[in-house]
């Protein structure tokens, strides 16, 4: 049981981290909004609560844009690191 929890936490951590290993605000916001869409769906389905269409569309647009940009980062060519320019006055 503890191993499954550790694997789940590691998986979520992997989703939120950027390629350099730090937290990515785009991913955090996108995952948070995806969870909110799921909560809104469940609230509408099971409890009969209605969500305004404009609000739901805005949240979905932010989620799709954030996850789309994050997905494009994986396939974009990496820029080679520039070596620091030598000091012209040295």
So what's the pLDDT on residue 9? 85
Query: Does the pTM exceed 0.75?
Result: no
Domain boundaries, the chain: 24-72
DSSP state, 86? P
pLDDT in tens, 27-42: 888 888 888 888 988 9
pLDDT in tens, 35-78: 888 898 898 889 888 888 888 888 888 888 888 887 777 777 67
């Amino acid at each position: 049981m503890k191993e499954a929890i550790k694997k789940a936490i590691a998986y979520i951590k992997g989703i939120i981290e950027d390629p350099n290993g730090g937290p990515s605000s785009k991913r955090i916001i996108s995952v948070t909004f995806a969870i909110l869409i799921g909560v809104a769906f469940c609230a509408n389905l099971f409890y009969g609560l209605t969500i305004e269409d404009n609000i739901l569309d805005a949240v979905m647009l932010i989620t799709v844009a954030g996850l789309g940009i994050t997905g494009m980062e994986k396939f974009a060519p990496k820029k080679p690191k520039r070596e620091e320019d030598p000091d012209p006055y040295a």
